[in-house]
Amino acid sequence: MAFHNLFGFVGILTESIKLAAQTGRAMAAIAAVSALLNSLFLFISLRSSKSILRDLRAKEFLLLFSGPRDPDFANLLHEIKEDALIILAVEFAVFLASFLVTVFSSAATILISAAAFSGQSSPFKDLASRLGNSSVRLIVTSFYLSLFLIGYVFSVMVFLIPYGLLIADFPLAAKAIAVVVGIIAAIFWIYTAVVLHMAVVVSVIEERCYGLEAVGKAAGLVKGKNMKLHGFVLNSIFMLALNAVIYISRTVIGQKSESIQMIVWSLAMILVCGLAVFENMNYTVMYSLCKKTKEEEIELHGSVEYSKLPSMAALADDPPSV
């Protein structure tokens, strides 16, 4: 029992691998489409930003040799502002498109995984009709999760700034404290992200449950049975895998040509999207197990309470005294 409680994440991984074998084509298609679109967005972002930045640097160089009284000075300033706004608009559009692709791919992965894990003969049934509503709920939940992440990062920064000011003259000590606080903050975030990722699954599967309500329900589902510990280990595994992909990609790229860089980043994107799909599958399995455990606990609690009630026959044979 102790082994199961400590290494229960192995069971979740095992069930997810079985699920991947069962729905392999669908999951591979989701990962491939997501990677293709994100690679396309990355290419558009790099190409457009590179040309605009080149033009922006040229205008900044001309601005250095112009004075406020120069007739071209105002025009250069206006053009620089326009270029900056174009860069911001392009980056925001790419971010929004990538976010929507992530939302739809996550929702599709979770719906198919939940249907297949529950034993449905056709896990793709009603997928199209449910995907839209599930994605909308996921977008709302993602908004609250983003606010939580921003607040968490801000809290860590607020905690670090006073120490940085106090020991500014001791750079080695400041660096050591920053590293220690960073590690502690990362561990706490990985642990907290168990509830947040479970909220994603809840908002996709359960109708009329999204936002803070989904977060609250997720916290209730992972409570007890060491589920948070299992989720923490799973998050750590996927985090290490993601960092390994990014580190290897950057190492391989080095000073390679632009075409080689795009090929390497495209391959890395395929691995990242594959990891995201498999992570969503793991959390869907974890959700199903948590749901089953909670239902069994409710049934057990109900049967215990029912057994405590006196039967009608006993009340008739031995009526209560007044």
Give the closest residue to 203 by CA, choosing from 118, 284, 97: 284
Task: Flag whether 20 is in a domain.
Answer: yes
Phi, psi of 226 (to 5 degrees): 60, 25
The answer to whether residue 47 is domain-embedded is: yes
User: Which ranges of 206-257 would DSSP assign to H, the alpha helix?
Assistant: 212-221, 227-253
* Mean pLDDT (10-residue bins), the chain, 322 residues: 56 89 90 91 80 73 66 72 82 91 93 86 73 92 92 84 65 75 88 93 91 91 81 91 88 75 85 93 91 64 46 47 44
Task: Extract the tokens encoding 114.
Answer: 């939940």
Residue 272 in domain: yes
Query: In a 10 Å sphere around its CB, with 0-12 CB exposed, 13-18 middle and 19+ buried, how is residue 145 labelled?
Result: buried
- Distance from C-alpha of 249 to C-alpha of 123, rounded to nearest angstrom: 35
Give the global pTM.
0.80
Identify the domain containing residue 62 by its residue range.
13-301
User: Residue 84: inside a domain, yes or no?
Assistant: yes
Q: How far apart are the first and last CA of the chain?
A: 50
Residue showing tokens 């197990």: 289
Q: Has residue 6 been placed in a domain?
A: no
CA gyration radius for the chain? Answer: 27
Residue 83 belongs to a domain: yes
Q: At what angle do helices 258-308 and 71-117 cross, to 10 degrees?
A: 40
Residue 49 lies in a domain: yes
Is 133 within a domain? yes
Number of domains in the chain: 1
What's the confidence (pLDDT) of residue 296? 55
